[in-house]
Amino acid sequence: MTPVKDTRVPEPATQLLSVIVPAYNEQEVLPEFHRRLCAVLDTVPMAAEIIYVNDGSQDETLAELQRLREQDARVAVLDLSRNFGKEIALSAGLQHAGGDVVVVIDADLQDPPELIPEFITQWQAGYDVVYAQRTRREGETWIKKATASAFYRLMQRIGHVKLPQDTGDFRLLSRRAVEALNTLSEQHRFMKGLFAWIGFHQKAIPYERDARFAGDTKWNYWKLWNFAIEGITSFTIAPLKFATYLGLLTALGAFIFGIYTIVKTLIFGNPVPGYPSIIVIMLFLGGVQLMAIGVLGEYIGRIFTESKRRPLYFLNEYLPPRASDNKSDQG
């Protein structure tokens, strides 16, 4: 399929590339990351700004970012008031990006910056969303790989939005894709889903994902589990339907068993009191009901947080790129 080109893209000389980098306790990686990113940006025939989002790090990340900004006039630093999580850090970056095209990349060097020129080539060919798709996962346990793959399959099945498998947040977004994302004000930001939900012309680029360069992953299994629930409940009401059908099925089973019991009692009488069957059925029904209430609770909880309509994040400070400082001083 040849995509229809976004005709609003201006001529090459004036184009600006924004790179958004969420960083949470990444002090060890940042200098190396910045070095590798700059090596790539120097080969790209566009002006660039690099927006580092400090997501409430407890280590020296902020100081490190300020140092990078001193050295490099393209660097902007967005300092969030506390740790809001990667999804919101990304959203904050997207709202501050002024580029004609935006690249979102992790700070831990698991996403190779060397792919960015290829992203840009595809963008120039008319794609709005160009994402990296992993062909291999280094440094991750088989349990993580297996659960991740099961999750993508489940989302493909029950979600109305088809999530591309083995795809992280590393991607390029055209201006109109960024603007589309910025109009989504929901608190529960399942970015992988939102990226797919906005549509436009999307293109996958295969790559091999490296192990992180330094530091530790911020994910543990409990967080991943919650992430999966977030994904499912933000994009599909299938669990609610499942609860309904499970309820119907249980009721049908109870009805059949009831008839069986009545007929049996009428024909053979009831010489043995039915304590075991009663207790089993009671426990089963109780379990099913609690589970269905739990599913309802997940959705009601989300309605609750959305209905408060709080702002997504607060900023301690926004340090724009020094390159654009000069411009605004003159203007």
- Interacting residues toward ligand UDP by CB under 6 A: 22-24, 26, 55, 83, 85-86, 89, 106-108, 110, 212, 217-219
CB contact at 8 A, 170 and 104: yes
Pick between residue 23 and residue 161 the one whose CB is nearest to ligand UDP. 23
Between CA 266 and CA 248 the distance in angstroms is 27
Between CA 323 and CA 74 the distance in angstroms is 6
Identify residues 204-233 at the interface with Mg ion (CB under 5 A).
212
**Interacting partner of 85 out of ligand UDP, Mg ion, none (Cβ under 5 to 8 A depending on kind):** ligand UDP
Pick between residue 219 and residue 299 the one whose CB is nearest to ligand UDP. 219
CB contact at 8 A, 130 and 172: yes
**Interacting partner of 87 out of ligand UDP, Mg ion, none (Cβ under 5 to 8 A depending on kind):** none
Pick between residue 47 and residue 77 the one whose CB is nearest to ligand UDP. 77
Provide, rounded to whole angstroms, the least separation between the CB of residue 87 and ligand UDP. Answer: 8
Q: Dump the DSSP string for 106-148.
A: -TTSSS-GGGHHHHHHHHHTT-SEEEEEEEEE-S--HHHHHHH
**Interacting partner of 86 out of ligand UDP, Mg ion, none (Cβ under 5 to 8 A depending on kind):** ligand UDP
Identify residues 87-146 at the interface with Mg ion (CB under 5 A).
108, 110
Pick between residue 66 and residue 110 the one whose CB is nearest to ligand UDP. 110
Size of the site for Mg ion (CB under 5 A): 3
SS3 261: helix
SS3 88: helix
Residue 171, phi then psi, degrees to nearest 5: -165, 170
Residue 24, phi then psi, degrees to nearest 5: -130, 110
How many residues would you count in the chain? Answer: 331
Pick between residue 74 and residue 134 the one whose CB is nearest to ligand UDP. 134
SS3 20: strand
Q: Which residues bind to Mg ion, rule: CB under 5 A?
A: 108, 110, 212
